[in-house]
Chains A and B, each alone.
Chain A
């Protein structure tokens, strides 16, 4: 390569890198309105706490999420509330992807750096156990939030939604909206997730109690919103003359249902189709507000974050899990047009109740 070309190449690289960093720096705070709101209320004490140096022998907690996702931003609000309340610094990390490999490397590095308590969303329900075994053998405490690792596991607790119960509640609500009869399309998310089987089971158990309700189709493999939109659209097309309700028990299909049904109704779709989803994506909440969807199951991500850290703190203070206690049901609420403005308060009340019960119900000394 000629000297001039090398110079030109270097210049272009520097300019590109500078533009990239500038773009990322400019955009990040604006693109996350929810995170910004949380920061406005809790940032000052949280930041102050986060800047505290980690001393040897202390409780050194980490909150770890595998990849950027709106759910984790909601969980982080709970962690930030914990930091603000206790003044204890928490290392908050979000990884680059959903692979267990990345999670292993980053958490091992954190452990090597002296951190000894981990609230983790496992990237792989089985694969994470290997990492956990090594970390707990080295004296660390681990708590799963959002979902559980496969049993047996060395994690002390899993703070999460009881997915089967939530799926059953969603199904009950859908059937109620359908008037106790009709045909349902069951939209599952990813089959690789063991929780999907539990959700499917829950839905089928409820449907079995209603002789006039039938699941006419199941669709799955919603790896992205694009795929989900395509599959939900196809399922709706296939059953357009007989479907009465659609249920989704995953974030991605819920967004897809909101999109597809919204479009169907905007094109004067004649059939009345009820729908219940999960999580509080803006598109889903707007669909409920517009009457396109009936409701959604609201999980407790705030509680997933807050309670995980509180449990880790208790474990570091010498408390141990009670015998046969592992799963901490963080609860959920059902949001529909009637409680759109108040459901977040309902879910905060659930967190407060569990917090009050932690020492009696889940821990002992």
Chain B
């Protein structure tokens, strides 16, 4: 009888410990803080403005967040190998212009325009990757140069004119929804799941992370790091092109100015979302949460009707407060590690 009670207590303690450990292991993840920050902001804005939870607003917020995801993925693909892509927005702009030129000026179907635009974006990414691995120059310098090249092409081809005659069918992805959830958001989630799987379970993903973690060690362990750098920049071009095309789909027109303000967003979403600036780490969940968080902040500032002249200040303060959740998490994490080390 006594023995069975003891067994019961041991079982209960073990169960509590396992739940606690599971919870703690979730809290210790680097992307937990940004997920928490996004949730806190969501709750705060829900209470502060009755319009926040309207289907119209949630639809718009999730669409913008989805677009931020693709912009951030374009940057994350190169940050993860310890590089960067300053020409990301210009690649997006060039993609948009190529799509507009094909569909509006030439009157071609999206079945031709979209692959042509994707090809343009992919080639831009390949161009960056090729120059980087062959010249051994830093990605900052190479993509800075290609930023000018691609921007010049955008301006030269479009001469600043938007392309307005985009087939209505093409706006379906950017404007329609599935039971109230925008297709854009669903698409972003699917892509993130696929990338999360790739980085965790596929050889190519592990090799990308290894290259970003320590290029020399990766090379010595037999990874063809040049191929990985080339692949990362190509993927960056692919995601920039995807983001550009999705903007065209959402807008129903191809604006040559697309991409001009992507640089800050791409770095902010990727890095706040847990992509290590010096490479080797990637979090699909973190990028999604970070994109939602930044969109919520921008949306919330308008919802709260803040003074337009101080909007940027409020934006900065809220971003700082939101990312400070990560600082608290790290502090708790290190304290726990210390306690575990001290315990005999």
Contacts and interface: CB of A to CB of B under 8 A. Distances in A.
A282 interface: yes
B164 A282 contact: yes
B51 A239 contact: yes
B54 A234 contact: no
Contacts of B251: 225-226, 229, 259
Given A223-B260, A225-B258, A191 B302 contact: no
Nearest to A20: B153
Interface in B242-265: 247, 250-253, 255-258, 260-261
Contacts of B258: 224-226
Nearest to B134: A9
A34 B157 CA distance: 14
A31 B161 contact: yes
B159 A237 contact: no
A226 B255 contact: yes
Contacts of B308: 188, 191, 218-221
Interface stretch (B56-64, B76-84, B202-210, B212-220): B56-64
B138 to A, nearest CB: 17
Nearest to B63: A233
B125 to A, nearest CB: 13
Contacts of A240: 51, 54, 56-57
Contacts, number: 142
Contacts of B159: 28, 31-32, 35, 68, 73
Contacts of A231: 298, 302
B315 to A, nearest CB: 10
Nearest to B157: A27
Q: Is the interface of A mostly helix, strand, loop or mixed?
A: helix
Given A68-B160, A286-B164, A238 B302 contact: yes
A310 interface: no
Given A224-B258, A237-B57, A238-B57, A69 B160 contact: yes
Interface residues of A, number: 59
B170 interface: no
B305 A238 contact: yes
Contacts of B127: 16
A47 interface: no
A255 B298 CA distance: 20
Given A31-B157, A68-B160, A238 B303 contact: yes
A117 interface: no
A321 to B, nearest CB: 32
Contacts of A154: none
Nearest to A230: B64
Given A219-B308, A240-B54, A23 B247 contact: no
Contacts of B256: 68
Given A27-B101, A237-B56, A96 B160 contact: no
Contacts of A281: 162
A238 B158 contact: no
B3 to A, nearest CB: 64
B259 to A, nearest CB: 8
Given A218-B308, A234-B303, A237-B60, A224 B253 contact: no
Contacts of A5: 134
B302 A283 contact: no
B30 interface: no
A27 B101 CA distance: 8
A235 B302 contact: yes
A281 B251 CA distance: 14
B160 A23 contact: no
B158 A241 contact: no
Interface of B: 49, 51-52, 54, 56-57, 60, 64, 97, 101, 105-106, 127, 130, 134, 149, 151-153, 155-164, 175, 247, 250-253, 255-258, 260-261, 298-299, 302-303, 305, 308-309, 311-312
11 contacts: A24-B153, A27-B157, A30-B105, A31-B97, A68-B160, A226-B247, A226-B255, A230-B60, A234-B302, A241-B51, A282-B162
